[in-house]
Amino acid sequence: MARAYDLRSILFVLVAFVGAVVVLRDLRYDFAFVGDMRAAELSRRTQEVTATMTSTVMQTEMTMVTETIQVASDPAPAEKANAAFVVLTRNKDLKDLRETLIQLEDRFNRHYKYPYVFLNNEPFSDEFKEKIQGMVSGECQFGLIPEEHWSYPEYIDQTRAAEARKDMKERKVIYGGNESYRHMCRYESGFFFRHPLMDQYKWYWRVEPGVKFACEIDYDPFLFMERNNKKYGFTVSIKEYIETIPTLWNTTMDFMDKHKEMIPAANLMGFVTDKNGKYNRCHFWSNFEIGSLDFLRSDQYMAYFDHLDRAGGFFYERWGDAPVHSLGVSMFLNKNEVHWFEDIGYYHGPLWNCPKGEANKKCWCSEEESIEIKNPAWSCTLNFKDLPAPKL
């Protein structure tokens, strides 16, 4: 509004200037001839100019008010799920994370205002918290990971673990020599959902710094999952590097043999095995997940994680949370409970999930870049899609 009043002052000065010019021009004429008629004419012209300028100022003020209304934030919808975004991140990820969150807010959350839970194994800086809180629409919570969730259990031989990292680094296995990466994979596999800040929620959407969201999301994926009895949602699925998980399948089979009563007859094991029943290394890429926290907290999944954790493969090999989550989902859920979010345009370098056909009109990604089209031999998504629905 201050701009409008400044404009009014300028315009009235202009009115006075125009009037003066008119007066000076008319001095060239014979004053005796124009007399009172010239004075009346000048008064009329001045009134017309003043009225025009006043109208312009009023229209400008009205336009400014309209623009202010247009940029007002949307109210949160009345119906929402009991859900939150969960982000495992570090202070140094701030730039990449802000780029991701501004896309997520623009494409989806500015309409819904779901909260965020940020987790770190070190304290978040004041700068990190201030800059994140200033750009998102939902409530922000910042949590410190308990040391016992990001350290070696007493039953792990740390010398053996160090030798394994050295060997894998020499063999150039991806993240093979990275100690922190192993703690991250173990934490995402069995602990993030046990953080006290997550206790109040039933659903989570995992977000990582640097990922991209390419499409308008004009519905609530949390409510979609809840209303359709879904337990796990993904965008990308691929095959894991066998060098990182040489004994994971055998360890999983050992668990299944010992806990047959936990494995439902209608399951999703066809996703992780080939036609001969052998492990095909397929997994849901867990950097994007929308899932049920009740599922991860279940006795079945927790028993499976504890079995893996005792085996030591998170440290003696380099088991990732993606194949661990995927094997748990495949054992304990059926196809009807798992959903491919084909309509969510998502990128985590170097892979895309990009909607096809009519749905692509809401996106800036190219559907030909989607992993199941660009590299179908590496993707497992079409395998999932072709699995038959269970007979319940």
Q: Catalytic site residues?
A: 289
Cα radius of gyration rounded to whole Å, the chain: 32
SS3 of 245, please?
A: coil
Q: For residues 382 and 370, what is the distance between their CA atoms, to the nearest angstrom?
A: 12
Longest pairwise C-alpha distance within the chain: 119
- The DSSP result for 94-120, as a single string, is HHHHHHHHHHHIIIIITTT---EEEEE
Residue type for position 91: N
Q: Which residue has the tokens 């740390």?
A: 158
Q: What span, in angstroms and rounded, lies between the C-alpha atoms of 231 and 335?
A: 10
Helices 158-170 + 179-190 axis angle, to 10: 110
Spatial separation of the C-alpha atoms in residues 36 and 258, rounded to whole Å: 113
Percent of the chain as helix, strand, coil, to the nearest 5: 55, 15, 35
Nearest CA-CA partner of 1 in 67, 50, 55: 67
Which residue type is seen at 86? V
